[in-house]
């Protein structure tokens, strides 16, 4: 007997038995026998249809999957073979899922490693990351970007209007033109140098570079970029331009005065002076030019002990005190920071020094040693020329 008949035959027999009981019971008095017979027949038909839909068809599909007949021809044997085949397929699918899961885990680990490398590269480079959503105008600035300007994360809101307020007014139009040119497709990438106000009130130079992400139609919807603090480079450029142009064609006392005046202006410090040693071994120095608070002061001679200039002359080393100068040297009351650069003669001896003082702290970017030494060498040549001229005047004068 087939599996279908084994399932359907018991239900049919029970239905016939129920029909016979109802026919001999009191139900005929309640309803006509013909109506009961039709109702039970309909119920039996519905039962058969339900069994056909819910049982026969799924089992038929399962049996059809078992193509090979069992050795004894039994339906249950074929069913068992089909179940074994399904079990094997299930195990194969589980193994494939496991392999896919492992590949996903490997991809996730590789992605995490790539993100860590990118983060390390950003920290090592010192660049600040920024992102702009062009559809809603949202701006996101990284913590590193804010720290470049002296701000904590919560001190600089991620809002476009706040960023605009910190950009130097003279630079903002050029920045927006460069951005628009890239967004309109005129430039393959965005690149611009501009000044942003630091928390201490000074402006820092940033080199900003970025690229837009675009829809298939070319419309930009997002922009990502990196900003690099190039203030030291811009400072060198500014100092060179300011001092070279300011001292060009000058000699003697005129050169020394122009040197300290333009150096003070380039560094934005309160005071600058240049000295020569007054005795040997040096314990005193005399100024050759003294610029303070936008005017020249009379030259003077002073003792080195107790001043930050002593180490510069004695050791022949550049000395930098970025803050709290008066605590270490009370004689410098009123000034917070100091830079001193020795001036060497051709024999290697110290001829004097170039010094700068400010009433505000100085940052490390102020100490552009190569530039200082360049002009110290120029001052040394002028000092030696002055000494030689004095010796000749004394000899033949």
Per-residue confidence at 70, pLDDT binned at 50, 70, 90?
very low
Segment 251-291, tens digit of pLDDT: 788 888 988 898 888 888 999 999 999 998 899 999 999 99
Crossing angle of helices 75-125 and 3-24, rounded to 10°: 110
Q: For residue 90, what pLDDT is reported? A: 72
Q: For residue 13, what pLDDT is reported? A: 60
Q: How far apart are the first and last CA of the chain?
A: 143
Cα separation, 128 vs 145, whole angstroms:
4
Kindly list the domain boundaries of the chain, sorted by start residue.
3-64, 126-229, 235-396
- To 10 degrees, the CA torsion angle through 276, 278, 283, 289? -40
CATH class of 126-229: alpha beta
Top pLDDT among 371 and 56 is at: 371
Top pLDDT among 73 and 95 is at: 95
Segment 370-390, tens digit of pLDDT: 677 777 887 888 888 877 776
In the predicted structure, residue 48 carries a pLDDT above the cut 70: no
For residues 318 and 339, the answer to whether their CB atoms sit within 8 Å is: yes
Do 126-229 and 235-396 have matching folds?
Answer: yes
- Which residues 6+ apart lie within 8 Å of 287 measured at CB? 273, 274, 275, 299, 300, 301
Domain 235-396, CATH among 3.30.70.580, 3.40.50.720, 3.40.250.10, 3.30.450.40? 3.30.450.40
Per-residue confidence at 233, pLDDT binned at 50, 70, 90?
confident
φ and ψ of 306, to 5 deg: 85, 5
Encoded tokens for 269: 């410090």
Mean of the pLDDT values across residues 144-158?
90
Encoded tokens for 71: 């050795």
Beta strands in 166-283 (DSSP E): 190-197, 203-214, 220-229, 271-277
Cα separation, 357 vs 337, whole angstroms:
6
Percent of the chain with pLDDT over 90: 33
Q: For residue 30, what pLDDT is reported? A: 47
Per-residue confidence at 71, pLDDT binned at 50, 70, 90?
very low
Q: For residue 12, what pLDDT is reported? A: 58
> If you count them, how many residues does the chain have?
397
Per-residue confidence at 119, pLDDT binned at 50, 70, 90?
low
Encoded tokens for 251: 């000699």
> Which one of 15-19, 210-214, 242-246 scores highest in mean pLDDT?
210-214
Q: For residue 253, what pLDDT is reported? A: 84
Beta-sheet pairing, 128-133 with 138-141: antiparallel
In the predicted structure, residue 46 carries a pLDDT above the cut 50: yes
Segment 201-211, tens digit of pLDDT: 889 999 999 99
* Residue with token string 């040297």: 329
The DSSP result for 86-153, as a single string, is: HHHHHHHHHHHHHHHHHHHHHHHHHHHHHHHHHHHHHHHHTPEEEEEETTTTEEEE-HHHHHHTT--G
Q: In 3D, which of 243, 162, 222 has the Cα closest to residue 197?
A: 162
- To 10 degrees, the CA torsion angle through 49, 51, 54, 57? -80
Segment 355-370, tens digit of pLDDT: 999 999 887 655 566 6
Helix (H, G, I), strand (E, B) or coil at 51: helix
């Amino acid at each position: 007997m087939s599996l279908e008949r084994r399932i359907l035959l018991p239900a049919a027999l029970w239905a016939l038995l129920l029909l016979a009981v109802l026919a001999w019971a009191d139900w005929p008095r309640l309803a006509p026998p013909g109506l009961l017979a039709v109702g039970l027949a309909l119920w039996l038909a519905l039962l058969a249809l339900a069994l056909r839909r819910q049982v026969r068809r799924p089992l038929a599909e399962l049996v059809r999957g078992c193509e090979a007949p069992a050795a004894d021809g039994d339906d249950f044997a074929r069913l068992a073979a089909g179940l074994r085949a399904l079990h094997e397929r299930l195990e194969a699918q589980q193994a494939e899922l496991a392999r896919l899961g492992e590949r996903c885990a490997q991809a996730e680990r590789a992605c995490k490693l790539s993100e860590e490398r990118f983060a390390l590269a950003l920290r090592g480079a010192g660049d600040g990351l920024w992102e702009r959503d062009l559809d809603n105008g949202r701006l996101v600035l990284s913590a590193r970007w804010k720290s470049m300007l002296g701000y904590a994360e919560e001190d600089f809101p991620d809002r476009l209007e706040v960023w605009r307020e910190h950009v130097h007014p003279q630079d903002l139009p050029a920045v927006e033109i460069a951005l628009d040119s890239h967004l309109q497709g005129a430039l393959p990438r965005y690149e611009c140098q501009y000044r942003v106000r630091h928390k201490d009130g000074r402006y820092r130079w940033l080199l900003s570079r970025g690229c837009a992400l675009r829809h298939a139609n070319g419309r930009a919807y997002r922009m990502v970029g990196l900003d690099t603090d190039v203030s030291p480079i811009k400072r060198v450029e500014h100092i060179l331009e300011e001092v070279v142009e300011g001292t060009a064609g000058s000699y003697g006392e005129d050169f020394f005065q122009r040197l300290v005046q333009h150096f003070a202006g380039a560094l934005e410090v309160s005071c600058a002076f240049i000295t020569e040693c007054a005795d040997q071994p040096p314990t005193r120095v005399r100024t050759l030019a003294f610029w303070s608070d936008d005017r020249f002061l009379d030259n003077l001679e002073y003792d080195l002990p107790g001043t930050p200039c002593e180490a510069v002359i004695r050791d022949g080393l550049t000395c930098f005190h970025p803050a709290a100068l008066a605590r270490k040297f009370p004689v410098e009351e009123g000034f917070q920071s100091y830079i001193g650069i020795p001036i060497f003669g051709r024999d290697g001896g110290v001829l004097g020094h170039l010094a700068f003082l400010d009433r505000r702290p100085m940052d490390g970017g102020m100490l552009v040693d190569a530039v200082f030494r360049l002009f110290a060498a120029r001052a040394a040549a002028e000092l030696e020329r002055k000494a030689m001229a004095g010796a000749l005047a004394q000899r033949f004068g």
